[in-house]
Amino acid sequence: MTTTTLQALVSDLRRALGPRHVLDTPEDLIAFEYDATIERALPDVAVFPATTEEVAAAVLLARRYGVPVVPRGSGTGLSGGAVPVNGGVMVVLTRMNRIVEIDTLDRVAVVQPGVINLHLQEALAPHGLTWAPDPSSQRVCTVGGNVANNSGGPHTLAHGSTVNHVLALEVVLPDGRIVNLGSRVPDAPGIDLRGLMVGSEGTLGIVTRATLRLVRASESVRTFLAVFDSVEAASEAVSGVIRRGIIPVAMEMLDQEIIRIVEPRIHAGYPLDAGAVLLIEVEGLAEGVAQDAATVEAACLEAGAREVRSAEAKAERDALWEGRKAAIGAIGAAAPAFYLLDGVVPRTRLPAVMKQVMALTAEYGFRCANVFHAGDGNLHPNIMFDPAEPDAERRVLALGEAIMRVCVDAGGSVTGEHGVGLEKRSYMEWVFRPADLDAMTMARDAFGGAGFFNPCKVLPGGHGCATGHAAELAAVMSDPRVYV
Amino acid sequence: MTGTAFVGPDTPSAADLANCIHCGFCLPSCPTYLATGQELESPRGRLHLISALHSGRIEATDGVLGHLDQCLQCRACETACPSAVPYGRIMEDARAALMANEPSEQPRTWRWRTFALRHVLARPRRMRALLTLGRLYSRSGLQQAARGPLRRLVPARVRRLESTAPDLRAAPFRRTGTLASPPAANTHVALLLGCVAGEIYPATHEATVRVLDRLGCEVVAPPEQGCCGALHSHAGDADTARALARRNIDAFEQAGVDAVIVNAAGCGAAMKEYGRLLRHDPHWSDRAERFSANVRDVLEFVAARGVPDGLGRIDRTVTLQDACHLAHAQGIREAPRAILRAIPGLELREQVHPDRCCGSAGIYSLVQREMSGQVLAAKMAEIEATGAETVCTANAGCTMQIEAGVRTFGLGADVRHVIELLDEAIRAGGYSSPAGPTGTGPSQAGAR
Amino acid sequence: MTNQPTESVRHAMPANTERGPEAYAIDGLTPRLAFAPDSRSEAAMLLRAANAAGLVVAPQGGRTATGFGRPLTEYDVALDLRGIHRVVEYVPDDLTVTVEAGITLAEVQRVLGEHGQYLPMDAPPDDHVTIGGLLATAKTGAWRGHLGSPRDHLLGVEVALPSGELARSGGRVVKNVTGYDLHRLHTGALGAFGVIVEAAFKVSPRPAQTMTLAAPAADQHEAMRVARATWDASLATRALTLLGGAAAAHLGLPARPTVIVEFAGQAAAVERSAREFEGLAGRTETPTADLWRKLRATHGDTATTVARLGVPPSLVADVVASAEGAGGRAWGHLAAGAVIVHGDIGVDALRRLRAMAEERQGFLQLEHAPVDLRREFAPAEPGDGDLVRALRDRFDLKRTINRGRWGSGL
């Protein structure tokens, strides 16, 4: 885009949204070139709409000037989804942060996309209600971001991902139309465009309002810390619990490497000499929880747990969880840089896959800390490295790719909850056949946003998009920062 | 690329900056991000700007400085940060390294601020003269009138500014030398008097001295001491901060005490960081480290020593406003609570976010009035929700800001330092200091 | 029309897959051809051949929902999916199963039952529905509000497209955000974007114990009070249904508004739930064992009109009463806000009920009705017309699959 065109776009946007809500100086725009990954790209202009109509106006202007639109919430994504690789207009939704309605009678909440997940939970708590998605970033991520990425979290195991908890969406489409998908009552007849929109990472539309399904907080919750000598034993316990007919609400694993990073900082009570710990949570009626608790304990002990601690009081449970929630961030203090992966495998393949991951990591000469949703088979290997070391970046990327291969070969997938974004586009061809990707492309094209709404995300290829993950990464690797 | 905007020994270290993994966990802990929803007013955004200044990607334009200026330096982000990014230090370093440029290259907007801090705050006599003018205003009855019957006659702008001014009717605390000398004293401590605290809140010093006395401490106040330099550090005037630090280290070393007691969290945090401030100075770095290791916040000191027995009842509901520089900078959260809980009859009602900044932040409330007002409004809503009769603080700046908030929002609460409540409970328990006020200087014990 | 198009389709398919078309009539139309392929690729071949020949295909399984949606406007070829019925993969410890679309729910439950597991789905009329049909219609029953909908348990699908391609979305792992969730789009789409030929599900452990109780109430307000209190008590509930008096009578219970509830889970939790329910309701009865089976069969009755309303849970009792006032039998699954109306009620009553639901951002969908009624009264709208048309244009430009089911041009 030429400077004059950009200036014209900026002044049109200022007229539409107000001068204070449009940023275009380079020193302001650099705060919108990142999310929580290593990817970086500057938008041409960033706008801060306050209403759905302003979002639509920004979309129409971007369309008229032929520049891309990229939505952004809190910028905590872990796949580069909010990084505007082709520049354009960044639509920052943090001003749209109103909880419009909480209907306690029918258990529905209506929120704007910029509402922070935890703020919603805090507003619901007095009513004994919750919105189930609880990503580890919930204290900062927005509901709009959760919807765009179909976010999961530790409690996805029993409650499902975001899509299971979204009733309806108001969306601005690439042609500027404002449409309502789904309905306030579940199972609207007709085509489930709501289900397609959730997880579409801003490529099909921009969510400007979400109607959410709430659930009642459980009467009784118990959290266990089970301590094992090895990841294999802990994995065996995971299968053992499931085999006994219990689906806990969460089963999270931390391996020795991550325990040694997180425990000195957070003091969650994880034994430093453990090979792995499992955090297991069961909830429901007190009677059921008591019965499940006994079963969980038996399964852990049978798998070789050296200790099973149980916490029922909220403060104690929070302490156990604090270590889990802060784990990824704590790696930042422990290593000059790390690369966080997100793969999924069938639960029963966990022990074998973990062994392969550790062997590969050693083969490539790195250390790897694992903290992940074991119950879902959702791995999060964190490869720690020093970018100053010669050739480190290339080897880290190669290792990441090798681990992703292991996941796919085990019948799994390349992202369980972080999204495809920029980072995993090139892996899509490992998981899907050309015909599968063609069908996805047809769906995207029906919305009219190809090359316009969040270009170069989700699907591989695309006009003006870098050819692969490695090429994109190499471009930003000169930046001496951390590689999440 | 224009080259780095930073100059001199205080340039932020690349290692500190590299710790940030951009996870964004700091965002919702930041009062200015909460008020604006704007990445540029968040810790992560500011760190990114500082990194870009560091690498020379951007220049220190007024816009960039504006974003750095909006930072309260409350350091709540450090508590939230899972990667242990030393944000407060990075921000202070960045400001110092910008100020270390040639005068023509220094941020223009920062120059007058530095001037005021250097030539008033660091000069006790000028400071006192200014405050004496204020005291005349308070005592004349004009202040009461401007806040009461004549309220409508005062232009709104002036009224807003006026409402932030403290009530200065009480006599200042200007005593030095030995302040308390209980029989069989087994511990010797020195008290930091600070630049304004004794002038505005003499009752806090009085209470501090009496509590230490009750705990069997001999208390001295070396007359050569001065301003701690915290505000200079925050503003990037590292040279003045270092000069003040050296003066204080000298003064307190001579007193030869077991601990240096501070009852203003901001000052305590700065003095605990003298070691780092003087790390490049071969003559002073070791002395500064030793000095910092001896600094204690009064609440930290009292809680560690044990709250005295025989406390009297205070039937009152209170809420605690964690001073940012106590909770986030010094990591002290439990001590003030332990003290309050020890007082019979006192009911502690916690705010939803007790450790969220009130917007005072040193001179921030003066130079960033709009943002400070927004942050204060959010804080007052939390305080009001507790319904507490008294707001407890641990820092003179917080007291002043919350008093202003109480007036502006028409809350009935009074605002007191935690140590004053403990003092009140000790006295309500029937204990009275065997020794009367000692020390040299004007000794007009004023009750607030 | 000449015989040429049908001949080209016949030519494309193995002879042993052809069936007599008489058994495949839908909406009063008998197709010219019928095929029951043995494999997914054969199903895709049939679609490609029909698409090329310009013929309209109606995919079908157990034929329990052929009166769903608008009447077919044209119908040339029946695609009987019951021959594609393998269990592709079942790993009990992963709690996942992958099956072909023609398998019946009963067969899936039998296989899973050997490992103490099941698919928590109770679509009407009974377990003889095929998985493909269950997904294409997205029908649900009494468990829906407590155990989720088929969309919630679905991990991925493979569909056969009119182009002859087989396209997958999702996968077989329980948590996956790789690519667009086209499987959600296909669920409930009546084949608009392809014919589901395979599906992977997350399965559940069977509950250790179940118990059904009924609480007859003096009137609908009392019934609603009991139902609401039961829902709010967060008991080990698998089904919580408010029956109108006529519906209760139809099930052989006294003709009064009645709350029926099924508790499922650990024995201790079920027993405590039953105690609390008795406390809330005052008086309860243990109905005959086949109560739920009868209710489900009534929901799936193809001899009359069946409508499903979606309303806010707080409105369920009012809607049940209105529907019974109009001459139907009605019951509401509280947690899902789903009210089922069964019986020959007229267009005017349907319009009133639809207006009542829409006023509260709900809806009314005809799940089964005579052809004439479905011509006069739209069974359901497809959603945003422009988007649906754009999608249909890309997946099935010639409207080869189920032409007209979603309205003219769709």
DSSP C187-223: TTSTTTT-EEEEEEEE-EEPPSEEEEEEEE-SSHHHH
Please indicate, yes or no, if residue A449 is contained in any of the structural domains.
no
C348 and C216 within one domain: yes
Inter-chain touch A332–B49, beta carbons under 8 Å: no
Chain A nearest C-alpha distance from B103 (Å): 23
Cα–Cα distance for residue pair B335/B341, rounded to 1 Å: 10
Interface residue C289 vs chain A (CB under 8 A): no
Inter-residue contact C197 to C40 (CB < 8 Å): yes
In this predicted structure, the answer to whether residue A1 has a pLDDT above a threshold of 70 is yes
The total number of structural domains that make up chain A: 3
**What's the CATH number where C185 sits?**
3.30.465.10
Do C262 and C115 share a structural domain? Answer: no
Q: pLDDT value at position C136?
A: 97
The answer to the question of residue C378 being in a domain is no
List, as ranges, residues 180-199 from C with C-beta within 8 Å of A: 180-182, 184-185, 187-189, 192, 194
The predicted pLDDT at position A471 comes to 43
Contacts of C145 in chain A (CB under 8 A): 186
> Which of C94, C176, C309 should we substitute to test contact with A (largest number of A Cβ atoms within 10 Å)?
C176
Range of the domain at C17: 4-83
In A, minimum Cα distance to C380 occurs at A189
Residue B434: pLDDT band (50, 70, 90) is low
Over residues B95-109, the mean pLDDT reads 85
Pair A88, A109 in one domain: no
State whether A137 and B25 contact (CB < 8 Å): yes
CB contacts of B48 in chain A (<8 Å) are 30-31, 34
Provide mean pLDDT across the span B206-222: 96
pLDDT at B438: 54
Q: Which of A36, A122, A332 lies closest to B24 in CB terms? A: A36
Q: Which CATH architecture has domain B14-106?
A: Orthogonal Bundle (1.10)
C142 within domain boundaries: yes
Chains with 3 or more CB pairs under 8 A to chain B:
A
Place A469 in a pLDDT band, splitting at 50, 70 and 90: very low
Rg (CA), chain B: 22
Q: What is the DSSP letter of C29?
A: B
Predicted ipTM?
A: 0.96
Does the pLDDT of residue A316 top 70, yes or no? yes
Structure confidence at residue B305 as a pLDDT band (50, 70, 90): very high
Nearest CA in chain B to A122: B352
Residue ranges of the alpha helices (H) in C72-130? 105-113
Contacts with A, C 100-139, CB within 8 Å: 116, 138
Give the CATH number of the domain where residue C339 resides: 3.40.462
**Nearest residue of B to residue A96, measured between CA atoms:** B37
Same domain, A332 and A315: yes
CA-nearest residue to B45 within chain A is: A31
Q: Which has the higher per-residue pLDDT, A464 or C18?
A: C18
Same-domain status, A163 and A88 = no
> What's the domain range around A54?
3-92
Q: Does the residue C408 lie in any domain? A: no
Chain C: partners with 3+ C-beta pairs within 8 Å: A
Q: Low-confidence residues of chain C, pLDDT below 50? A: 1
Contacts of A288 in chain C (CB under 8 A): 236, 265-266, 268-269
- Indicate the residue of A140, A265, A484 with minimum beta-carbon distance to B28: A140
Domain shared by C157 and C298, yes or no:
no
Give the orientation angle of helix A286-302 with respect to helix A231-243, to 10 degrees. 140
Q: How near does any CA of chain A get to the CA of C178, in Å? A: 6
Q: How many CA atoms lie within 13 A of C168 on its CB side?
A: 18
Cβ distance C268 to A290 less than 8 Å, yes or no, reads yes
Kindly state whether residues A182 and A253 are assigned to the same domain. no
Cβ–Cβ under 8 Å, residues A439 and C167? yes
Of the partner residues B48, B61, B82, the one whose CB lies closest to the CB of residue A30: B48
pLDDT in tens, B417-427: 999 999 999 99
Tokens for A473, please give them.
Answer: 């990464």
Q: What is the dihedral of CA C186, C192, C196, C197, to 10 degrees?
A: -160
Does C200 reach chain A within 8 Å, measured CB to CB? no
Residue A107, C-beta contacts closer than 8 angstroms, at least 6 positions apart: A129, A213, A214, A215, A216, C313
Helix, strand, or coil here: A46? strand
Q: Is the pLDDT of residue A473 over 50?
A: no
Query: Where among C188, C205, C222 does a domain terminate?
Result: C205
- Say whether the A–B interface has 3 or more Cβ pairs within 8 Å: yes
**Per-residue pLDDT at B444 exceeds 90:** no
Two tokens, residue C320: 């049940």
Task: Please give the C-alpha separations between residue C297 and each of A197, C244, C253, C261, C327, in angstroms, as whole numbers.
Answer: 34, 17, 16, 17, 19
Mean pLDDT of chain A: 92
Residue of chain A whose Cα is closest to the Cα of C335: A106
**Which of A92, A140, A327 faces B24 most closely, judged by CB atoms?**
A140
Total residues found in chain B within this entry:
448
Quick: pLDDT tens for B145-156: 777 777 777 777
**Closest A-chain CA to B21:** A482
Residues of chain A with C-beta less than 8 angstroms from the C-beta of B43: none
Measured distance CA(A147)–CA(A407) in Å, rounded: 25
Q: What is the CATH number of the domain that holds A253?
A: 3.40.462.10
- Residue of chain B with shortest Cα separation from A116: B28
Residue C400 inside a domain? The answer is no
Predicted pLDDT at C11: 95
Contact between A177 and C204 using a beta-carbon 8 Å cutoff: no
Q: CB distance A163–C182 less than 8 Å?
A: no
Chain A residues whose beta carbon lies within 8 Å of the beta carbon of residue C181: 150, 163, 195-196, 198-199
From the list B23, B25, B63, the residue facing A25 with the nearest CB is: B63
Nearest CA distance, C92 vs chain A (angstrom): 8
Q: Do A326 and B82 touch (CB under 8 A)?
A: yes
Domain match, C131 and C159 both: yes
Structure tokens at B56: 């020379």
- pLDDT at residue A163 greater than cutoff 90: yes
Residue B443 has pLDDT above 90, yes or no: no
What is the structure's pLDDT at A388?
85
pLDDT reported for residue B117: 79
pLDDT band at residue B17 using 50, 70 and 90 as cut-offs:
very high
SS3 content of chain C, % helix, strand, coil (to 5): 35, 25, 40
Higher-confidence residue of B161 and A228: namely: A228
**Cβ-Cβ contacts under 8 Å, B17 against chain A:** 481
Residue A329 and residue B21: Cβ atoms within 8 Å?
yes
For chain B, what percent of residues have pLDDT higher than 70? 95
Give residue-wise pLDDT tens across range A402-460.
Answer: 999 999 999 999 999 999 999 899 899 999 999 999 999 999 999 999 999 999 999 99
Query: Which one of A31, A57, A92 terminates a domain?
Result: A92
Same domain for C215 and C359, yes or no, is yes
In a domain, C393, yes or no: no
State yes or no: chains B and C have 3 or more CB pairs below 8 A: no
Q: How far is A320 from chain B (nearest CA, A)?
A: 15
User: Which has the minimum average pLDDT: A242-246, B123-127, B234-238?
Assistant: B123-127
Question: What is the structure's pLDDT at A477?
Answer: 41
Which residues in chain B have Cβ-Cβ distances shorter than 8 Å to A97? Answer: 37
Which residue in A119, A265, A482 is closest to B21 by CB distance? A482
Number of C-beta neighbours around residue B125 at 10 A: 8
The pLDDT of residue B132: 81
- Asked if residue A482 lies in contact with residue B21, where contact means CB atoms within 8 angstroms, the answer is yes
Tell me if A471 is assigned to some domain.
Answer: no
Query: Is residue C225 domain-resident?
Result: yes
Smallest CA–CA distance, residue A404 to chain C, in Å, is 13
Determine contact: A125 vs chain B, CB below 8 A.
Answer: no
Other beta carbons within 10 Å of B105 = 13
Weakest-pLDDT range from A319-323, B112-116, C19-23, C267-271: B112-116
Task: Write the residue in A242, A243, A440 that is nearest to C169 by C-beta.
Answer: A440
**For the residues A108-120, what does the mean pLDDT come to?**
97
pLDDT value for A448: 95
Q: Considering the domain boundaries, does residue C111 fall inside one?
A: yes
Percent helix, strand, coil in chain B (nearest 5)? 55, 10, 40
Distance CA C283, CA C256 (A): 14
Question: CATH number of the domain that C51 lies in?
Answer: 3.30.43.10
Domain finish residue from A32, A67, A92:
A92
C88 close contact with A: CB closer than 8 A: no
pLDDT at A127 (0 to 100)? 96
Query: Both C196 and C213 in a single domain?
Result: no
Q: Do A388 and A253 share a structural domain?
A: yes
C95 and C193 share a domain? yes
Q: Are residues A237 and A383 part of one domain?
A: yes
Chain A hits for B81, Cβ within 8 Å = 329
**In chain B, domain spans:** 14-106, 309-428
* The pair of three-digit structure tokens given for residue A477, joined into one six-digit string: 């690797």
Closest Cα in chain C to A291? C266
| pLDDT score for B441 | 54
Whether C152 and C300 map to the same domain: the answer is: no
pLDDT at B2: 57
Same domain, A189 and A211: yes
Residues linked to residue A225 through DSSP beta bridges, in sequence order? A279, A309
pLDDT(A113) > 60: yes
Minimum-distance CB partner of B24 among A74, A330, A337 = A74
With beta carbons under 8 A apart, name residues in chain A contacting C340.
none
Instruction: Reply yes or no on whether the pLDDT at A483 is more than 60.
Output: no
Residue C164: closest CA among chain A residues belongs to which residue?
A435
Burial (CB count within 10 angstroms: exposed 0-12, middle 13-18, buried 19+), residue B346: buried
For residue C232, which residues of chain A lie inside 8 Å, CB to CB? 216
What is the reported pLDDT for A468? 44
Q: What is the pLDDT of residue A476?
A: 42
Query: In the CATH scheme, what is the code of domain B309-428?
Result: 3.40.50
Nearest CA in chain C to A436: C167
Mean pLDDT of chain B: 90
The predicted structure's pLDDT at residue B159: 73
Final residue of a structural domain among A216, A251, A275: A216
Residue B147 has a pLDDT of 76
Q: How many CB pairs under 8 A join A and C?
A: 270
Per cent of chain A over pLDDT 90 is: 82
Q: What is the pLDDT of residue B446?
A: 37
The count of domains in chain C is 3
